[in-house]
Amino acid sequence: MEKALQKGSTPKILAPDLSGRAMQVGPARLIDIGTDLENQEIKLIEVGTAMPEYFTLSYCWGGKGFLKSDSKTLGRWKKNIPWMNLPKTFKDAVAITRRLGYRYLWIDSLCTVQDGVHDWQVESSKMAEVYENGVLNISAALGPDAEYGCFHDRYFLCDQKTKGIFQDDLKSFPVQLKWGEPVTAFNLHPSTNVDGHSKSGS
């Protein structure tokens, strides 16, 4: 995944695989993010009986308002979902899906009509199958709301006796940590101490 997300990588966007998936339980709608890695035009599509391969997004709604689908916006979102109005977590999920070579993404707030009682009841009743039948679930686990995004600094806190192992991009190396001090992936290198000075003393 790390290699696929590197800037400049251009994986092939897969055409929808419609074979052998017609009997699977899935969502009524998906977000078509297109085949152009730099394109900001995305839209809702009705799935029908043939289910393309898709990613799902798991995130915390939080207390902030953000873009959703309702009876007034559903028709407009089928033509174009305004990119500038998307919260950061949604934009990051689109980028991940594209970089890994897939075209379709399911986000609950956009793919389910939020003020449609019947639609919400039907779609929410099969949510477990929607996640299960997706190719991959993107989990924005640390975000308190949809604006937080999927990418963030990694850190941990040590106790008084910790000489931890800090893991970054498939490399693990020992680090000497101070009591209660956070360490991020961006201020450490195998040859530096936690204070940023080299181990040689320079």
The confidence score (pLDDT) of residue 58 equals: 93
**Inside any domain, residue 148:** no
**Inside any domain, residue 147:** no
The confidence score (pLDDT) of residue 155 equals: 53
SS (H, E, C) 9-73: CCCCCCCCCCCCCCCCCCCCEEEECCCCCCCCCEEEEECCCCCCCCEEEECCCCCCCCCCCCCCC
Mean pLDDT by 10-residue block, N- to C-terminus, for the chain (202 residues)?
48 46 77 88 91 94 87 95 94 93 95 91 93 94 85 57 45 44 42 40 42
The confidence score (pLDDT) of residue 153 equals: 64
Q: Nearest-CA neighbor of 116 among 45, 21, 55, 28?
A: 28
Considering the domain architecture, whether residues 159 and 110 belong to the same structural domain is answered as no
The confidence score (pLDDT) of residue 6 equals: 52
Considering the domain architecture, whether residues 98 and 159 belong to the same structural domain is answered as no
**What is the number of domains present in the chain?**
2
The confidence score (pLDDT) of residue 138 equals: 95
- Please tell me the distance from the alpha carbon of residue 167 to that of residue 21, in angstroms, as a whole number: 39
- Please tell me the distance from the alpha carbon of residue 78 to that of residue 42, in angstroms, as a whole number: 9
Q: Which residues span the domain enclosing 184? A: 153-202
Considering the domain architecture, whether residues 57 and 105 belong to the same structural domain is answered as yes
Q: In this structure, what is the dihedral angle of CA atoms 23, 131, 94, 97, given to the nearest 10 degrees? A: -70
- Please tell me the distance from the alpha carbon of residue 23 to that of residue 195, in angstroms, as a whole number: 57
The confidence score (pLDDT) of residue 147 equals: 87
